[in-house]
Structure 1
């Protein structure tokens, strides 16, 4: 979701992507040392918390173009079957990036059935290579081919539709999207609460694959921190989730927190009209892994006030692998095509 609508003149970006390694991003923002931890998980100079460390960041794609398309507005990331990285722009473009250098390799335009642009926010790549993409306008989830053709559209509960059709608020709907282990269940996260639910309690909707198509399945409630929404979720192999929470305060900057969440024993809220937090409903349990404000800045600079210059409007997240017992996680910020914000990629190592 675009958090601000400030009009600004775009600045010229770097001409080429740079490699992001454990030692930090090359050239533009050299890092000092690598992130390491002891057997007991003691924080190091690169640690954001005992569970999370920052390996590096890169601003190399900030305010650049590829094949005539602005590179930015990134709202989601996913790994493709060939090992490349897919990056979704909320301005109806899907980029293919080199997973190591971040260099753009391709761009595919997206549209709805009438050819209109999407407010594309969530992305998951299915086992057959098709792309599942949310638009928070209605909201909707569509299945696209690699070349951007619409193949299917998933059903959405009426309560999650934007008012007056449903109880959701415009630009506060499906932001996160992930396939659970085995690929049979798809999960989408609402960004903020729907009308009638307590502020801060957002709904996670799932679909179960039946006869080759996704049908509506269980729904869960998740309580976000005060003032924060949920822009992204990623499934772990055991069925737990990494959940990104994010907010913005004018004159202060962004708040971004990473949580480990477990929906496996939560109540199915599909038939619960109003979630109050005091109704006996078991919400998704969560554990704070890191508040990104506590990460080392590693030489990062900010174009607007931030409690840590490393921070920006972080909105996309993907698990890229595992090394030394920790997950390798890549984050990206949505610059809203705004000169006061930055398209920034972050490499984290996360112990869950």
Structure 2
């Protein structure tokens, strides 16, 4: 979702000046430091603003909403303006574009492309918030097909979803047989759990052998009040990393990283209105880190932020797994806005035992 600051216009002149400051010039280079703890489970290894307000082969490198590791070791970075970049991240968190392809719907029109997964054969699965939809593309951007989506998840009046608050996250579980897409916000008529947290739906698809994905179970996820689900990513053991994000004018962004487990959650496909009664069990979740608690590492912000490291963080990919440790790459969506930044973050997460 394109989260825009109410202060964008007023901050534009300040942003231009900040771009030339010595502090920002230092931030444009990869920044690394050992053991910068955000929490007992998470440390930040570095950040880079080097992609901010740049172009590649005539395309604006920004509006980045999702990341996924590609078959060739590059990282696919999805722009919500219907473009898919390939990034060389060997010097992470610094990244360099090496390829870009355009995406389109069945009529050749643009997408509000938000979620991304790379399938085991290298094809790309891409969500759009407009309908919502999940489409499949080859590596050259050719449209190959489209998955079924339950009627209730469609934008009203066709369904019960709110425009621009639908499929924001997408991930494939290990083995490539289970695909999951997360709604950003609750459906109309859905309520809260016992702790007062809004319940957001996560749809799955499953396949057997070479068959196409077919609709699978649907789960309820309890999002923090005032936040939406910006991204989900497979942790590698059946659990999910969930990125929750919100924005308050004059205060800035809130970005929290959770670990959630769908394996003991109820299938809520047939539950018209959540929470659905005592037999309905949402996903359990555990806070890994509030990114606002990370060391700022010298980062600067172009609008008010409680931590200048923060921006509109929207994309997340696991770039390396080693035992119970994960190396993560995150990206913020600048909305092509002078008051926001395209920023890459490198984090290391130690997963708690199931």
State the TM-score, normalizing by the size of structure 2: 0.90
Any idea what SS the aligned residue of 1:213 has?
Answer: coil
1:55-102 deviations in Å (ceiling 9; x for gaps): 000000000000000001000000011111100000000000102241
Map of 2:247 onto structure 1: 248
1:114-161 deviations in Å (ceiling 9; x for gaps): 111000000000011000000000000000011111101000000000
1:12: Cα distance to partner? 10
- 1 CA distance for matches of 2:238 and 2:316? 17
- 2 CA distance for matches of 1:150 and 1:12? 42
- Is 1:56 equivalent to 2:25 in the alignment? no
1:322: Cα distance to partner? 2.7
Map of 2:2 onto structure 1: 2
Map of 1:131 onto structure 2: 124
Any idea what SS the aligned residue of 1:138 has?
Answer: coil
- Is 1:163 equivalent to 2:156 in the alignment? yes
- 2 CA distance for matches of 1:288 and 1:29? 30
Map of 1:148 onto structure 2: 141
Structure 1 runs of 4+ aligned residues shifted over 2 Å read 5-14, 25-33, 276-280, 322-325
1:32: Cα distance to partner? 6.5
Map of 1:18 onto structure 2: none
Map of 1:17 onto structure 2: none
- 2 CA distance for matches of 1:245 and 1:313? 11
Map of 1:197 onto structure 2: 190
Instruction: Single out whichever of 86-95 and 191-200 deviates more from structure 2.
Output: 191-200
Map of 1:208 onto structure 2: 206
Map of 1:21 onto structure 2: none
Map of 1:99 onto structure 2: 89
Instruction: Single out whichever of 253-262 and 207-216 deviates more from structure 2.
Output: 207-216
Pairing of 1:1-352 with structure 2 (within 5 A): 1-4=1-4, 6=8, 28-29=28-29, 31=31, 33-35=33-35, 46-101=36-91, 102-198=95-191, 200-210=198-208, 211-276=210-275, 279-323=278-322, 325-352=324-351
1:34-54 deviations in Å (ceiling 9; x for gaps): 12xxxxxxxxxx100000000
Any idea what SS the aligned residue of 1:293 has?
Answer: helix
Count of paired positions: 332
1:248-281 deviations in Å (ceiling 9; x for gaps): 0000000000001011000000010000375431
**Alpha-carbon distance change, 189 to 12 in structure 1, aligned in 2, over 3 angstroms:** farther
1:30: Cα distance to partner? 6.3
- 2 CA distance for matches of 1:322 and 1:232? 19
Contact preservation (8 Å) 2:27, 2:298:
no
- 2 CA distance for matches of 1:330 and 1:157? 31
Contact preservation (8 Å) 1:316, 1:332:
yes
Instruction: Single out whichever of 212-221 and 278-287 deviates more from structure 2.
Output: 278-287
- 2 CA distance for matches of 1:239 and 1:333? 26
- 2 CA distance for matches of 1:12 and 1:152? 46
Map of 2:22 onto structure 1: none
1:28: Cα distance to partner? 3.2
Instruction: Single out whichever of 299-308 and 314-323 deviates more from structure 2.
Output: 314-323
**Alpha-carbon distance change, 145 to 11 in structure 1, aligned in 2, over 3 angstroms:** farther
**Alpha-carbon distance change, 83 to 123 in structure 1, aligned in 2, over 3 angstroms:** same
